[in-house]
Structure 1
């Protein structure tokens, strides 16, 4: 007498299909010592019922005027607990993979990002990976995990646009580096790196449209300036000019 699914939430409420023989005129379905609700006679070989609350492993039995069946195991699963996301922000277009850590994740069937669902890859009971779906708008959204034990939320993921660079002031400085440059643009408050000619520069975020950076040493001539955040990068081609120190 197989049952599907054979596991469900400790809080009950799982619709279970029981398949067997001589199931006509079923009078009750029991999950251990508790009676199921909403019993529906589908056919002489199939009955559906909604599980009551419970814990651990219990036996499902079906009772008809002819007697009570043998028990078939049903496993109660606790609701998942999410502790962290390894990446909490990414591009509005989605497509990046994040790892979610927690407990009770082995039966995860879906992960929702602001109501948009994705199918995860379960790594273990404490870890799953999922490809982030495209978002509807820039900003934070709740992350929800659904397992056989129920649904849990509490984490947040932020959809971002890639940064843009509008202006650099000043636009030139010595080859020895050390020039303080103000960069104006958009989506700069999530900046992860700034480079001048491919060399990382120390930087400080002022707000979403402004950051400052200190130029690293460079070679005389123009250099590309690249600003990167979790959603991508923007390159200002030949935007900064390294000037050699005069010699006499």
Structure 2
């Protein structure tokens, strides 16, 4: 009855679209930085990794950065982004436990290398590197508790054996001993 007011602008914001994660796995303890790519991300206010949320840093409309929160347990979780246009999920992030080494058999071999070694432990499925005295060695993952490796050449004495996955590195100090071969 009193007339019509001037129009006020109103913008509809579409739901975000996510196309990928810069890193798709990490330690159950969280703490690594992940960049999420997509469109419609400029109004992002929260990123959830399963039941745990974190506040993102908006880099552009096509990228946000977020520090991964700690996970409840190892395994995959859905990743959802909340913006002014709604919440979208569809990507997955896998929490991984840090590996442990419980045994190395045999515990010695020649300095020339080439010794087939069985490493036992836990959380070995996603092993990305095995080292003897910080020298990378060829390896094969057998299962979650066993990795087979071949020693590289080394020098006489006890050396550290390292085993890494995306969550971290386990080091067994002095676990393998290089010995000299018999003299002829």
Could you state the TM-score of these two structures normalised by the residue count of structure 2? 0.95
Q: Which runs of 4+ in 1 moved over 3 A?
A: none
Q: CA deviation at 1:245?
A: 2.5
The structure with higher relative contact order (CA 8 Å, sep 6+) is 2
1: CA distance, partners of 2:87 / 2:163: 38
Q: Secondary structure at the match of 1:68?
A: coil
Q: Residues 19-34 of structure 1 correspond to what in structure 2 (within 5 A)?
A: none
Q: 1:178 aligns with which of 114, 130, 135?
A: 114
1:243: which partner in 2? 179
- 1:215 correspondence with 2:163: no
2: CA distance, partners of 1:195 / 1:172: 15
Q: CA deviation at 1:85?
A: 1.0
1:131: which partner in 2? 67
Q: CA deviation at 1:190?
A: 0.9
- 1:156 correspondence with 2:69: no
Q: Residues 1-248 of structure 1 correspond to what in structure 2 (within 5 A)?
A: 65-248=1-184
Could you state the TM-score of these two structures normalised by the residue count of structure 1? 0.72
Structure 1 gaps of 5+ residues are 1-64
1: CA distance, partners of 2:115 / 2:20: 39
Q: Secondary structure at the match of 1:206?
A: strand
Structure 2 gaps of 5+ residues are none
Q: CA deviation at 1:145?
A: 0.5
Q: Deviations over 1:162-182 (max 9, x none)?
A: 001011111111111111111
Deviates more, 1:160-169 or 1:70-79: 70-79
> RMSD over aligned Cα, in angstroms?
1.1
Q: CA deviation at 1:120?
A: 0.5
2: CA distance, partners of 1:183 / 1:104: 47
1: CA distance, partners of 2:177 / 2:15: 58
